[in-house]
Amino acid sequence: MCGIVGYAGTRECGDILIDGLRRLEYRGYDSAGVAIHTTNGVERVRAEGKLANLERAFRDTPLHGTVGIGHTRWATHGRPSEANAHPHMVDGFVVVHNGIIENHMELRDELEAGGDRFESETDTEIIAHLVARERPKTDSLLEAVRNTMAQVRGSYAVVVMNADEPDLMVAARQASPLIVGLGDGENFAASDVPAIMMHTRDVVFMNDGDFAVIRRDSVEFSDTSGAPVTHTAKRILWDPVSAEKQGYKHFMLKEIHEQPDRIIDTMRGRVSLETNHVHFPDMALDDEVLSSVKRIIILACGTSYHAGMVGRYAIEKLARVPVEVDLASEFRYRDPVIGEGTLIVAISQSGETADTLAAVAEAKRRGAKAIAICNVIESTLTRVCEGTIYTHAGPEIGVASTKAFTTQLVALYLLAIWLAQERGTQEPAERIELLEGLRRIPGQIEKCIQDEARIREFARNYVDVHSFLFLGRGMQFPIALEGALKLKEISYIHAEGYAAGEMKHGPIALIDDDLPVVVVAPRNEHYEKVLSNLEEVKARGGRVIAVTSEPAGDVLRHADDVMTIPEVPELLQPLVTVIPLQLLSYCIADIKGTDIDQPRNLAKSVTVE
Ligand code: F6R
């Protein structure tokens, strides 16, 4: 989680670092700091809380210099505080780190036994102590960092400076993202592209085990043995404007509004208008692997897992391949059985989620092939999988996933249609009808978004409740889970998603007028049954918010508040039923005044277990 920026050049770097951190704040935002080579050696400014606090502190105590590093933190070891904020400094050796040092306790005990004194509760400070211990024994800072990293177990992206070597920084990567930006007379290190893309678009994505010595006029890469490594820079072509709010009050609202366009981007180039065939020109995976698929396991976390649950329905229905969906964090530890012909589909917005990466590694170790459905280009997941279906959602900055989810759904529908097309399990006429339905979805989502003002009106009645229940059946069950997740993460109201058919097996005991129940009931094969569930809630004095197809008809008689969706093919309904739920969560949170884009305790990219 945590964001890193480093700069070596000829410009004053304070603002460059802080501006870069602002663009990485989605990775963590509980404290931040910068360290810069000044005429007095290396000096630091750190602050607890949001980046704005660091900016204020930096204005009060500006540091001048042209080589420096910065960090925005999501606490893992030690509470958010100035003392625990990075950079950590020991005898002039300064470190920023993203990841977790798993053997930190034993290393700390050993260092303390040798007389080292620690200033923080972090695992990161150990790295600074170790580099300080290693440097006198070696010829270079690079060697000292290499020897240090050989002693630690875990994941890291680190950048290290030494007060006595003012013109360079050393970077290292193992299972946490790190890139190097190549400029003209200046070079950068960062956790992610947006941090540096206003300065350079030529970027090297470091691999696990890579080390880099970064100076203003050169960058040298090497591996764990010290052998030189050659990397070719990639040119980043996407538009930095999409990482701005563009007049919306929150990134989340902007991203909700962007969904129609981003879904068009997900489909672009993948559906032939002439032949109505689906193809993935950018996904390298040999036909033999695909034609021999006997079973699919979808692995993901959080919202991406909910997308996977919808994907299971679509793939099984259209392609008749058995599909399992597993939480990556569970799969990796359950000694999974991977038979012949198992294809892993790993879904991740960031492509950096530690559990998803570990689950894919485990499956591959047992012989499975893996493809990714991913948003972030060149992220780690895309590089460990045999092929990737990029969602092309553009940068998602709001911590609560919205456009990442709907574009993942579209990618899954395309995968399902494509598998059916290749396996001959769907009539061409049905495929054509479904593809036409998909093409109409952006306009239909647009229509749902126009309901925001009305949703905001009735959302006021729900801001003071303590708990919500979300119910859905079939493909709407994952949507109920997703609705509950959205509400809890941004409004801090407890919410639970349940399969509507399970209500009588327990949760019905909770129902009274203090527990609003959101029932996802579009017109489909489960409509009558879900309507009965809705009536059961009403009969027990519960308040009901329903999502249904227009015209709302029967639902109007039983629900207190209704959000409607246009008529869409049943299989595609999740793409539109989720929109009112996103808006409901957004409106409730906005009326409550929570920090919607950066909710407490969360981070956008969960790069630790
Ligand atoms: C919820 C949310 C998270 C992520 C989860 C997986 O709004 O964003 O639940 O979906 O942390 O992240 P990715 O998709 O990056 O693997």
pLDDT tens for each residue of 60-96: 999 999 999 999 998 878 888 999 999 999 999 999 9
Could you count the other beta carbons within 10 Å of the beta carbon of residue 246? Answer: 11
pLDDT exceeds 80 at position 609 = no
What pLDDT is attached to residue 242?
A: 60
Mean pLDDT score, 421-436: 93
314-349: pLDDT as tens digits: 999 999 999 999 999 999 888 999 988 999 999 999
Asked about 301 being catalytic, the answer comes back as no
Cα 372 to Cα 365: distance, rounded to the nearest angstrom: 16
Query: CB of 400 closer than 6 A to ligand 1?
Result: yes
What pLDDT is attached to residue 185?
A: 97
pLDDT exceeds 90 at position 288 = no
Superfamily of domain 243-448: Glucose-6-phosphate isomerase like protein; domain 1 (3.40.50.10490)
Query: CB of 299 closer than 6 A to ligand 1?
Result: no
Which part of the chain is CATH 3.40.50.10490? 243-448, 452-592
CA of 320 to the centre of ligand 1 (A): 28
Question: Taking the complete model, does pTM exceed 0.85, yes or no?
Answer: no
Asked about 604 being catalytic, the answer comes back as yes
Instruction: Take atom 10 of ligand 1 and give the residue whose Cα is closest.
Output: 303
Mean pLDDT score, 549-557: 86
Pocket test for ligand 1, best of 255, 329, 332, 350 (most atoms within 8 A of CB): 350
What pLDDT is attached to residue 6?
A: 98
What pLDDT is attached to residue 178?
A: 94
What pLDDT is attached to residue 531?
A: 87
CA angle 206, 125, 153 (to 5 degrees): 55
**Lowest-pLDDT choice from 121-125, 215-219, 244-248, 431-435:** 244-248
pLDDT exceeds 90 at position 384 = yes
What pLDDT is attached to residue 379?
A: 86
Query: CB of 243 closer than 6 A to ligand 1?
Result: no
What pLDDT is attached to residue 286?
A: 66
**pLDDT confidence bin for 168, thresholds 50/70/90:** very high
CA of 188 to the centre of ligand 1 (A): 28
Classified as helix, coil or strand, 535 is helix
Mean pLDDT of all residues in the chain? 93
Query: CB of 401 closer than 6 A to ligand 1?
Result: yes
pLDDT exceeds 80 at position 166 = yes
Residue 448 and residue 549 in contact, taking contact as beta carbons nearer than 8 Å = no
Q: Report the topology of domain 452-592.
A: Rossmann fold (3.40.50)
Which part of the chain is CATH 3.60.20.10? 3-237
pLDDT exceeds 70 at position 240 = no
Q: What φ, ψ does residue 506 adopt, rounded to 5°?
A: 160, -65
Strand 228-229 to 219-222 pairing:
antiparallel
What pLDDT is attached to residue 54?
A: 97
pLDDT exceeds 90 at position 289 = no
User: Which of 176, 143, 4, 139 is CA-nearest to residue 85?
Assistant: 4
CA of 120 to the centre of ligand 1 (A): 30
Classified as helix, coil or strand, 7 is strand
**pLDDT confidence bin for 243, thresholds 50/70/90:** low
CATH for 3-237?
3.60.20.10
Burial grade of 443 (CB within 10 A; 0-12, 13-18, 19 or more): exposed
CA of 399 to the centre of ligand 1 (A): 8
What pLDDT is attached to residue 241?
A: 52
What pLDDT is attached to residue 525?
A: 92
Atom number of ligand 1 nearest to Cα 300: 16
**pLDDT confidence bin for 26, thresholds 50/70/90:** confident
Pocket test for ligand 1, best of 255, 327, 352, 353 (most atoms within 8 A of CB): 353
What pLDDT is attached to residue 278?
A: 93
**pLDDT confidence bin for 100, thresholds 50/70/90:** confident
Per-residue exposure over 540-564, b if at least 16 CB sit within 10 Å of its own CB, e if not = eebbbbbbbbeebebbeebbebbbb
Between 78 and 231, the higher pLDDT residue: 231
What pLDDT is attached to residue 96?
A: 98
What pLDDT is attached to residue 310?
A: 98
Residue 491 and residue 484 in contact, taking contact as beta carbons nearer than 8 Å = no
Cα 228 to Cα 543: distance, rounded to the nearest angstrom: 66
**pLDDT confidence bin for 18, thresholds 50/70/90:** very high
Burial grade of 139 (CB within 10 A; 0-12, 13-18, 19 or more): exposed
Mean pLDDT score, 455-459: 97
pLDDT exceeds 80 at position 39 = yes
**Lowest-pLDDT choice from 103-112, 365-374, 505-514, 542-551:** 505-514
pLDDT exceeds 70 at position 413 = yes
